[in-house]
Amino acid sequence: MKSKTLTYLVLGAVLAVGFQPTFASAADTTTAKATATTAVADRNPKNLEQTGTFKAGPGIAVVSTDAGKLQGYVQDDIYNYRGVQYAEAKERFKPATPVEHWDGIKMAVNNGPISPQPKGGFLDDWGQPGREFKEDNNAQNLNIWTPGINDNQKRPVMVWIHGGGFSNGSSLENASYDGQNLAKEGDVVVVSVNHRLNGVGYLDLSAYGDQYKESGNVGIHDLVDSLKWIKTNIANFGGDPNNVTIFGESGGGAKVLALMTTPEAKGLFQKGIVESGATETMGVYFNTKPFAKRVAVLTLEKLNIAPDEVDKIQSVPMDQFQKVSNEALEQAGIEFGIKRPLDGQPGGSWEPVVDGNFMPTDPVLDNGFAEAGKDVSLLIGSNRTEWTNFQDILNIEKTQYDNVNTWSDAEIDAKLKEKYGDKADAVVTEFLKAYPNKKKGDALYIDTMIRNPMRKIMTHKADQNGAPVYAYVFTYDAPVMNGVYMSYHTSEIPFVFHNVDLVAGSYGGSQDAYDLQDVMASAWVNFARTGDPNGDKVPAWSTYTDDNKSTMVFDTTSGERVDYDAELQELISQ
């Protein structure tokens, strides 16, 4: 039986922009190649004239990498490469190895496989079909969008790391992750990365032999390998290998924090962006060694594999491994009294393992931030409502007629009293101070689960007196479906990618939405280019320090606020 933890993590992965079904089941072949075809001989190209917006054929979009040549395609003047293999995982639970060299030209026009994972269950979104991908342990592949190749332009490189906790998701799971518009609007190189997840990426078998020494963190090892590939090859794709920004949302943001913590990634990127990337038990802190060891013990017991026969786990059918390892994770979480991020009930989550070596510490320390991240500039923030309106969204057929925008004043007062008790009036007062453009009823939807851990991270990072920190909160409420969506978890993503047009069903395609995406995409690109989000289209934005706690609030009218919601958060958290 699927645990609540995994159900919530699947929901988190697919909640982005319209609740599309994200995952498809497939056999785990472990040695399948991520590239779409075998290389063909490199010949002198002869092409028919192509005058349209889509160009593909001999000699078009051909780039050299350290392992061989790749051929992509050009769409609306942006070069596209899909399913580019950056490493190869020949066995489960072990770090991947470099890609073997090939002769000729390999096609890079099809999406690569994704990590094995539990399956999502949402229906299509506003006529957009759900996306399905092959699943494989050998899922070390990436996608690239770039305005130019072989041109020595040294564009900023923006590496997107998908969400879904550390359990689910993929680099192209929904339309909002497409890097085409961001690359074109910002003149940047956009990369998105697939990597191992859940027990495939974080089951710690290190107690059973040196061959599994790194098994508890091979998911992060994959991401490090992708950054090494980018460092070596991205110049030929028009990017600057010394100006790399990693950015991610939810679990992707937590992966950014993990990469800022491991010394293995030091120097492979210069800036990080964390969007809604932490709860108190995921992102701020990761799994301990004793907990991870217990998960492994239970997994082997449930699979009837003796410790001295651990290699048998290599051939366990993937569906069986997923089921059993998730049961073990749940049981260990209950034994250790670990609370799940979303529902607060006992139960574990797949996360990196703090092993004192590859992952030397948690991202947040008692008196600071991970040392490896000291020189990495950080842009960090969350959304106003996050998960607080999740049930309303799930029941949208009903709630479109029955929500905060339809309730009477008396109904709103009653609900505020029910939620906050004697603090209701004080909460409303502080809420309207913090958000003067919102309504009293909106005080029913105030995120603390993500906002407070994010405040902790930005404060500890700023106190480190290293590279600068910029903080934000996204508060835009779309009018679609009578305003039920609000600023839900993942809702900022299409604005960052300049992809509001691709997900109009969630945002309505209003001028307000278009204007906001111009502001946010510009801020993200500015930060990637220079380490400072300020510039054209972006209101003045100061660094976050312990003294001023400056925060950019993104909405129909965006602007900087100073320590604007501290009293509200403290009041609600009492």
d(CA 193, CA 21): 19
Residue 286 has pLDDT above 60, yes or no: yes
pTM for this model (two decimals): 0.92
For 482-540, how does the pLDDT look when each residue is reduced to its tens digit (9 = 90+)?
Answer: 999 999 999 999 999 999 999 887 788 889 999 999 999 999 999 999 999 999 899 99
What residues are paired with 189 via a beta bridge? 157
Q: Cα separation of 393 and 401, whole Å?
A: 12
Catalytic residue flag (residue 170): no
pLDDT confidence of 125, banded at 50, 70, 90?
low
At residue 550, φ and ψ (nearest 5 deg) are -65, 135
Tell me the pLDDT tens digit for each residue of 72-110.
999 999 999 999 999 999 999 999 999 999 999 999 999
Position 6 pLDDT exceeds 60: no
The pLDDT-based confidence of 11 (bands split at 50, 70, 90) is very low
Position 155, amino acid: R
Q: How far is CA 560 from CA 216, 517, 550, 565, in A?
A: 41, 17, 7, 12
Using CA atoms, how far residue 414 sits from 168, 418, 420, 424, in Å, is: 38, 6, 10, 10
User: Residue 546 corresponds to which amino acid?
Assistant: D
Which residues on adjacent β-strands are paired with residue 193?
Answer: 142, 161
What does the alpha-carbon distance between residue 395 and residue 390 come to, in Å, rounded to a whole number?
9
| Res. 127 pLDDT band, cuts 50 70 90 | low
421-480 residue pLDDT tens: 999 999 999 999 999 999 999 999 999 999 999 999 999 999 999 999 999 999 999 899
Residue 99: closest CA among 128, 74, 75, 70: 70
The H or E element spanning position 186 is: helix 180-186
Flag whether pLDDT at 36 surpasses 60. Answer: no
Q: How many residues does the chain have?
A: 574
For residue 239, give the 3-state DSSP assignment. Answer: strand
Instruction: Give the per-residue pLDDT at 503.
Output: 86
- pLDDT at res. 3: 41
The pLDDT of residue 26 is above 90: no
Nearest Cα to 369, choosing from 477, 469, 481, 269? 469
Q: What is the pLDDT of residue 45?
A: 62
| Phi, psi at 70, each rounded to 5° | -120, 150
Does residue 281 register a pLDDT over 50?
Answer: yes
Answer with the residue of higher pLDDT: 16 or 566.
Answer: 566
Q: How far apart are CA 532 and CA 93, in angstroms?
A: 39
Could you tell me the pLDDT band of residue 5, with boundaries at 50, 70 and 90? very low
For residues 310 and 546, which has the higher predicted lDDT (pLDDT)? 310
Query: What is the per-residue burial (b if ≥16 Cβ within 10 Å, else e) of 233-258?
Result: bbbbbbbbeebbbbbbbbbbbbbbbb
User: What would the mean pLDDT of 396-409 be, rounded to a whole number?
Assistant: 96
User: For residue 35, what pLDDT is reported?
Assistant: 41
Q: Tell me which of 554 and 16 has the higher pLDDT.
A: 554
pLDDT at position 531 is 98
At 344, is the pLDDT very low, low, confident or very high (cuts 50, 70, 90)?
Answer: confident
Tens of pLDDT, residues 39-72:
766 666 667 778 789 999 999 999 999 999 999 9
Per-residue model confidence as pLDDT tens digits over 449-461: 999 999 999 999 9
**43 vs 248, which has greater pLDDT?**
248
Write down the catalytic residue from 250, 487, 522, 550.
Answer: 250
Q: What is the pLDDT of residue 406?
A: 97
Report the run of H or E that residue 160 belongs to, with start and end. strand 155-161
| CB within 8 Å of 507: residues ≥ 6 apart | 478, 480, 494, 500, 513
Secondary element (H or E) of residue 248:
strand 239-249
Q: DSSP secondary-structure letter at 236? A: G
How many CA atoms are closer than 13 Å to the CA of 416, on its beta-carbon side? 22
User: Helix count (H) and strand count (E) of the chain?
Assistant: 17, 17
- Res 20 pLDDT > 90: no
Residue type, 118: P
